[in-house]
Amino acid sequence: MRRLPPLGAIEAFVAVARSGSVKAAATELALSPPALSRRIQTLERFVGRPLFDRRHQATIPNGDGERLLAQIAPVLDQLSDAVEAMTTGTEVLRVRLGVLPLFASQRLFPRLGELRREHPELHLDIDTAGHPMARLGEGLDAAIALAREIDPTLYARRLDRNRVFVIGGRALVDGTDPITDPSQLSKLTALIHRDMPDTFAAWRHAAAIDDLEPLAVDQFDSGALMLEAAAQGLGVAFMHESHYQDAHDPRLVQLFGIEVESPYSYWFVCRPRALRTQPVKLFHDWLIRTLGEQ
């Protein structure tokens, strides 16, 4: 049998790669940072190359590290599940799910108790890193993605249809110079999500102000931070109606009342072969039944 590196070294590598921090991984594994670093060095000597780019505040997998992580992390998870099933007497099924943080906090997490009661054996590993569809089959089993369209080689089910809202702080309508006309956007900063770059153009076209430019355009990769920025008066956010409704934030208001169909939807996405596995099938069926497009 071919010799393998120590399991502790593999476990340390996966923990650091996933957390991006030696300190955080050491806490997770109940090790001192020097002891964990020695385990990483053991694995790097075994494979004959460095696996991380070491920066001042973070330890990030390099190209070789990313490739190794994609291959061994799922195997380590399966090993952990097998041991858990043996010790508890209950089979553990696991889905590695990519999802945007705002969808997770507003729409998925409030219903996960129902999933756990229905399928107590099913567990989710949540991944909020970017580009989830590109990582399907390489670290992710499935994803809930925000997109205009989906690669036809993937299995996809639309979860919603939405409208673009212009969301601002309440002070914009309650102040001495209230914002009531779309032309006043020329005095405001537009807040745009990087995964939804066409929301502003779609709304502007529907409002018949194609030539109007905002004071500035600030881009975000976090919907939650966009809503907070709007509430703090840092600009107006071009987001989905559901984002506004589900926020339940009295500091926010919808501006102008113009209804614009969004070019983007949330989708459940996976590779076709993944849907044939029991964990993904169970989660898919529950998700479509519970949160899918009606």
Instruction: Give the pLDDT confidence score for residue 293 in this predicted structure.
Output: 67
- How far apart are the C-alpha atoms of 106 and 109, rounded to whole Å? 7
Amino acid at 18: R
Region 92-159+264-294: CATH code: 3.40.190.10
Query: 142-198 pLDDT, tens per residue?
Result: 999 999 999 999 999 999 999 999 999 999 998 788 999 999 999 999 999 999 999
Domain 1-91 matches domain 92-159+264-294 at the CATH topology level? no
pLDDT value of position 15: 86
CATH for 163-263 is 3.40.190.10
Which residues make Cβ contacts (< 8 Å) with residue 276, sequence separation at least 6? none
User: DSSP assignment, residue 228?
Assistant: H
Q: According to the model, what pLDDT value does residue 70 have? A: 81
Q: What pLDDT does residue 100 have?
A: 93
The residue extents of the domains of the chain are: 1-91, 92-159+264-294, 163-263
Q: What does pTM read for this prediction?
A: 0.70
Q: What residues in the chain have per-residue pLDDT under 50?
A: none
Q: What's the pLDDT at 131?
A: 86
- Angle at 165 (CA atoms; ends 160, 166), nearest 5 degrees: 155
Q: Scanning the structure block, which residue is given the tokens 């309650």?
A: 174
Polymer length of the chain: 294
Q: Tens digit of pLDDT for each residue in 262-286? A: 999 999 999 999 998 999 999 999 9
* Domain 1-91 listed as CATH 3.30.300.30: no
Question: What phi and psi values does residue 222 have, to the nearest 5 degrees?
Answer: -135, 120
